[in-house]
Amino acid sequence: MSDAQKYWQANIRLVIGCLVVWFAVSFGAGILFVHQLNVIKILGGYPLGFWFAQQGSIYTFVVLIFFYAWRMGKLDRKFNVDED
Amino acid sequence: MTNLQIWTYAVVGTTFALYIFIAIKARATSTGEFYVAGKGVHPVLNGMATGADWMSAASFISMAGLIAFKGYDASVYLMGWTGGYCLLAMLLAPYLRKYGKFTVPEFIGDRFYSQTARVVAVICLIVASLTYVIGQMKGIGVAFSRFLEIPFNYGLFLGMGIVFIYAVLGGMKGVTYTQIAQYCVLIFAYTVPAIFISLQLTGVALPQLGLGAVMADGSGVFLLDKMDKTLVDLGFNAYTTQKGSTLNMFLLTMSLMIGTAGLPHVITRFFTVPKVRDARATAGWSLVFIALLYTTAPGVGAMARLNLINTIQADSIAPDVSQNLKIDALPAWFTNWEKTGLLKYEDKNGDGRIQYVGKNFKGTDANGNLIVNEMTKVDRDIMVLANPEIAQLPNWVIALVAAGGIAAALSTAAGLLLAISSAISHDIVKGIIAKDIDDKTELMAGRIAMAGAIVVAGYLGLHPPGFAAQVVALAFGLAASSIFPALMMGIFAKRVNNTGAVLGMLSGLGTTLVYIFWFKGWFFIPGTAMAADNASNWVLGISPGSFGAIGALINFTVALTVSSFTAPPPEHIQHLVEDIRIPMGSKGAVEH
């Protein structure tokens, strides 16, 4: 496999990993499992599912993008395809 | 003139002077500066500009009101309008920046080597952006007419004039730097009253934590528990529990996410940064700045609702209504909003007081008569604007909120108008009609298109089509079902060819439009709907606004299937895709 293909595969793996988390915090915790999670209270009086839907998912999205950008930067340099 | 009006004129006037000053400082001198600000904007600044571009009058004025009245169910907007940035950062923005052109239709046309694809993309872009602009123009008009107490159309003309100056002169460069200033105004205006109110109600300064905190009234009850109890006692739906169907919430969130990632005026912002890695960072910074408002909004919504109920209904429940708001002693904010027609009451039982209860309320008064709701209209859109007045905050805070709402509407309007004018001058004039015009002529065409777009938007703002509120579903539906899948396959599916892409876009777009029109009327003409727009008629309970995700799925399926049966894209297109997948060799980076 060529370097370009390996770089692309590593990229796809990273994106899939990030999108699994993206899906889990919003669609998972915020919608599909919201009733089950609401039994737990965090940060005072927040039901956990409700917190994920209105707060937690957004915080996670922010962290995810910076994590992705940081890991992609490392991949770019490892495969020598960065811009400098 | 009242003290509040003086404050409002001073604050709004100062922000306008600032926007015009920036516009003169940041004039565009080439098409590169006009379309993409010379690709020289730092990611943090670009993040702020994107935040202002994205957060419209709807985010600033309407969203907290939606949350206030829908509670948990409004989470779809919070997740949908932020989660799209993950998709942008990971699936679209870096690659489109690497490609290094000016507009979204240009990429679609080149990648699928098809003028048809480009034209479909241009049409989607113009329809989606125009529908959005109408809402902004309306927001500007409302803010002006309520706070400066000048007629709606004067407010609108003033707003159009300001946008005209900095968007026509400065293009993307002027718009970007003005949006940075507008972001600062709008976020300050949004968070200051939120902090005041959070402190009043819970003693916790951050609304993000205040929403989960204990009430400051000494009762020891959590704010959210108090909300649930008050609302249920008064016959409303509980705040933190789900009312709608899970499938519809799921699909609506998905549609809003991919719609966000597919809206051209947002994508274009990623063309303005120097490097591919800056495009990734820009997505992160944009979301930081957006999250500041979006994580504050749930606190604002819940606290505004609680304050509104407590002001009118006091804390009492029938049969004791002796603490309810007296009609001959209405507070000033109440009568002011009543004048706008967005707040109405009717003293049905003639007791001289207002009862504010939900439709499930079964309580009776001292004479055994059922107590009915007397707040006949509480428009959701007034929650953010009236919130500081209800909480009796100082006048300068109220003036700030007016300036913030106007900043949010102006910045989004400018971004949308820019996307429309680029599509006309670059994709239609330069791309199809007159391919050999020089840079200077194209720049002039861009400016004329911008001026024309402002006039059309202003006209639509003055004479809003009756369906203004419904078309938002259309904008997201178009972006989700046509633009997002086309862009994503353009990058990730090398095998997708022109036939597949065009048929995919048309089928995704077609099914989504038919589904929306079926319930909303053909082209939104009243009376032409094929079925009443309610949950019992929707297929599997999927609302028209949630259908974009299904449309996108159809687009993907058709494009991939058709492409696998037809000839692969030519050699040079396959090389193009390989090239945009690596950051190395990106062009057009300039220092600034």
Q: Are B481 and B509 in contact (CB under 8 A)?
A: yes
Measured between CB atoms, which of A22, A44, A73 is closest to B277?
A73
- Among B280, B292, B582, most A C-beta atoms within 10 A, so best to mutate, is B582
Measured between CB atoms, which of A30, A44, A80 is closest to B212?
A44
Q: How many CB pairs under 8 A join A and B?
A: 141
* Residue B82 located in a structural domain: yes
Chain A residues with CB under 8 Å of B288 CB are 62
The pLDDT assigned to B316 comes to: 56
Chain A residues with CB under 8 Å of B291 CB are 58-59, 61-62
When pLDDT is averaged across residues B219-244 and rounded to a whole number, the result is 88
- Among B76, B211, B243, most A C-beta atoms within 10 A, so best to mutate, is B211
Helix, strand, coil percent content, chain A, rounded in steps of 5: 75, 5, 20
* Start-to-end Cα distance in chain A: 25
Q: How far is the alpha carbon of B215 from chain A, nearest alpha carbon, in Å?
A: 10
Domain that holds residue B81: 3-307+389-464
Q: Could you tell me which chain A residue has the CA closest to the CA of B274? A: A83
Measured between CB atoms, which of B86, B212, B249 is closest to A61?
B86
Q: A46 vs B253: CB contact, 8 Å cut-off?
A: no
Measured between CB atoms, which of B224, B249, B291 is closest to A45?
B224
pLDDT, tens only, B4-17: 888 888 998 899 88
Q: How far is the alpha carbon of A9 from chain B, nearest alpha carbon, in Å?
A: 11
The pLDDT assigned to B570 comes to: 93
Q: Could you tell me which chain A residue has the CA closest to the CA of B578? A: A4
DSSP B97-157: HHHT-S-HHHHHHHHTT-HHHHHHHHHHHHHHHHHHHHHHHHHHHHHHHHHT---HHHHHH
Q: B277 vs A82: CB contact, 8 Å cut-off?
A: yes
Split at pLDDT 50, 70, 90, the class of B591 is very low
Q: Could you tell me which chain B residue has the CA closest to the CA of A64? A: B86
Measured between CB atoms, which of B277, B291, B584 is closest to A69?
B277
- Among A57, A65, A68, A70, most B C-beta atoms within 10 A, so best to mutate, is A65
Predicted TM-score (pTM) of the model is 0.90
- Among B39, B78, B86, B245, most A C-beta atoms within 10 A, so best to mutate, is B86
* Structure token digits, residue A42: 């965090």
pLDDT at position B586 over 80:
no
Q: B240 vs A42: CB contact, 8 Å cut-off?
A: no
Instruction: Give the ipTM of the model, two decimals please.
Output: 0.95
* Residue B331 located in a structural domain: no
Split at pLDDT 50, 70, 90, the class of B467 is low
pLDDT, tens only, B123-159: 888 888 887 887 777 777 777 777 677 777 787 888 7
* Residue B579 located in a structural domain: no
Burial pattern B11-39, b for ≥16 Cβ within 10 A else e, equals bbeebbeebbebbeebebeebbbbbbbbb
When pLDDT is averaged across residues B380-401 and rounded to a whole number, the result is 85
Q: How far is the alpha carbon of B539 from chain A, nearest alpha carbon, in Å?
A: 20
Chain A residues with CB under 8 Å of B194 CB are none
* Residue B380 located in a structural domain: no
Measured between CB atoms, which of B222, B280, B281 is closest to A45?
B222
Burial pattern B408-431, b for ≥16 Cβ within 10 A else e, equals bbbbbbbbbbbbbbbbbbbbbbbb
Whichever domain contains B168, its CATH number is: 1.20.1730.10
Alpha helices in A24-56 (DSSP H): 34-37, 48-51
Q: What are phi and psi of B569, to 5 degrees?
A: -60, 150
Measured between CB atoms, which of B67, B72, B253 is closest to A26?
B253
Of the listed ranges B227-236, B394-403, B519-528, B570-579, the one predicted with least confidence: B519-528
pLDDT, tens only, B488-513: 999 999 999 999 999 999 999 999 98
Each residue's pLDDT expressed in tens, for chain A with a length of 84 residues: 788 889 999 999 999 999 999 999 999 999 999 999 989 888 888 999 999 999 999 999 999 999 999 999 999 999 888 877
pLDDT, tens only, B56-108: 887 888 888 889 999 999 999 999 999 999 999 999 999 998 888 888 899 99
Q: Could you tell me which chain A residue has the CA closest to the CA of B248? A: A31
Residue type, B180: I
Q: How far is the alpha carbon of B246 from chain A, nearest alpha carbon, in Å?
A: 7
Long-range contacts of B506-510 (CB under 8 A, 24+ apart): B506/B120, B507/B554, B507/B555, B507/B558, B508/B481, B508/B482, B508/B551, B508/B552, B508/B554, B508/B555, B508/B556, B508/B558, B509/B120, B509/B124, B509/B478, B509/B481, B509/B482, B509/B551, B509/B555
Sign of the CA dihedral B238, B239, B243, B247? negative
Of the listed ranges A6-15, B331-340, B571-580, the one predicted with least confidence: B331-340
- Among B50, B221, B277, B303, most A C-beta atoms within 10 A, so best to mutate, is B277
Measured between CB atoms, which of A7, A55, A65 is closest to B295?
A55
The pLDDT assigned to B364 comes to: 78
Element spanning B436, H or E: none
* Residue B540 located in a structural domain: no
Residue type, B355: Q
Q: How far is the alpha carbon of A16 from chain B, nearest alpha carbon, in Å?
A: 10
Q: Are B566 and B78 in contact (CB under 8 A)?
A: no
Distance of CA B147 to the CA centre of its chain: 22
The pLDDT assigned to B466 comes to: 53
* Residue B39 located in a structural domain: yes
Q: A65 vs B583: CB contact, 8 Å cut-off?
A: no
The pLDDT assigned to B19 comes to: 86
Chain B residues with CB under 8 Å of A61 CB are 82-83, 85-86, 287, 291
Give the pairing of strands A41-42 and A46-47. antiparallel
Residue type, B68: A
Chain A residues with CB under 8 Å of B582 CB are 4, 7, 81
Higher-confidence residue of B351 and B288: namely B288
Q: A53 vs B75: CB contact, 8 Å cut-off?
A: yes
CA distance B133 to B56: 9
- Among A18, A31, A35, A43, most B C-beta atoms within 10 A, so best to mutate, is A31
DSSP B382-426: HHHHHHHHHTT--HHHHHHHHHHHHHHHHHHHHHHHHHHHHIIII
Q: How far is the alpha carbon of A4 from chain B, nearest alpha carbon, in Å?
A: 8
Average pLDDT taken over every residue of chain B: 85
Number of domains in chain B: 1
When pLDDT is averaged across residues B335-355 and rounded to a whole number, the result is 81
pLDDT at position B320 over 70:
no
Classify residue B570 by its DSSP letter: P
* Residue B56 located in a structural domain: yes
Split at pLDDT 50, 70, 90, the class of B588 is low
Q: Could you tell me which chain A residue has the CA closest to the CA of B92? A: A15
Q: Could you tell me which chain A residue has the CA closest to the CA of B207? A: A55
Nearest to B160 by CA among B404, B400, B413: B413
Q: How far is the alpha carbon of A48 from chain B, nearest alpha carbon, in Å?
A: 10
User: Coil, helix or strand for B222?
Assistant: strand
Q: Could you tell me which chain A residue has the CA closest to the CA of B76? A: A53
Split at pLDDT 50, 70, 90, the class of B433 is confident
Chain B residues with CB under 8 Å of A37 CB are none
Cβ partners under 8 Å of residue B565, min gap 6: none
Q: Are B343 and B377 in contact (CB under 8 A)?
A: yes
Percent of all residues in chain B with a pLDDT value above 90, rounded to a whole number: 29
The pLDDT assigned to B374 comes to: 85
Give the pairing of strands B343-344 and B377-378. antiparallel
The pLDDT assigned to B590 comes to: 38
The pLDDT assigned to B217 comes to: 83
Interface of A with B in 8-47 (CB under 8 A): 8, 11, 15, 18-19, 22, 26-27, 30-32, 34-35, 38, 42-47
* Residue B192 located in a structural domain: yes
Residue type, B450: M
Q: B89 vs A44: CB contact, 8 Å cut-off?
A: no
Torsion-angle region of B524 (φ positive above 0: left; ψ -120 to 50: alpha; else: beta): left
Q: How far is the alpha carbon of A29 from chain B, nearest alpha carbon, in Å?
A: 11
